[in-house]
Amino acid sequence: MENVNTVHLAHNPRRTTDVDAVIGARLRLARANAGLSQTIVAEQLGVTFQQIQKYEKGSNRISAATLHNISLIFGLPITFFFDDVGKADVAPNQALERQVELAMTKRGQKLLGVFQRASPKLQASIVALLQAAAGSGDDEDLELDE
């Protein structure tokens, strides 16, 4: 009798998946938010910067141990890298890619730095103001994690 919790992968287990691409995009976002280069992150992990590039593109899988070390480097819960995983479409969406691209610019770095120094209440007010200005109509709870 088969265990009901068993997951069968219909693909080659060595081949990367959309989940790997989501995790890689989250790595890129975390690195951009921290203002660290691929070289610095690579040195801290004991790999080459080319390996970081492959992780970020989703062309190489990140082992559980390496992902744990990455979460320690950035001071993020490991669950950060799995946001959006498990939803119907786990491929990195265009909104996430635009966020990563913005975070990689000088303007994005400055914006993130100032935003991170603001109080949680001020952050929520800024988000509400930007949502109203952009007409997003997003009714999501504006309480932000510290």
Domain that holds residue 27: 18-82
> How far, in Å, CA of 4 to CA of 7, rounded?
8
Can you give the pLDDT at residue 145? 47
Which of 7-16, 27-36, 46-55 comes out lowest in average pLDDT? 7-16
Can you give the pLDDT at residue 137? 56
What's the number of domains the chain is made of?
Answer: 2
Residue 50 pLDDT exceeds 50: yes
**Whole-prediction pTM value?**
0.61
Residue 39 pLDDT exceeds 80: yes
In a domain, 146, yes or no: no
Amino acid at 70: I
For 60-97, how does the pLDDT look when each residue is reduced to its tens digit (9 = 90+)? 999 999 999 999 999 999 988 887 666 555 455 566 66
In a domain, 12, yes or no: no
Can you give the pLDDT at residue 83? 73
In a domain, 8, yes or no: no
Amino acid at 125: S
In a domain, 37, yes or no: yes
CB atoms inside a 10 Å sphere around CB 24: 24
Do residue 67 and residue 105 come from a single domain?
Answer: no
> How far, in Å, CA of 28 to CA of 70, rounded?
11
In a domain, 9, yes or no: no
Phi (first) and psi of residue 9, to 5 degrees: -90, 125
CATH number, domain at 27?
Answer: 1.10.260.40
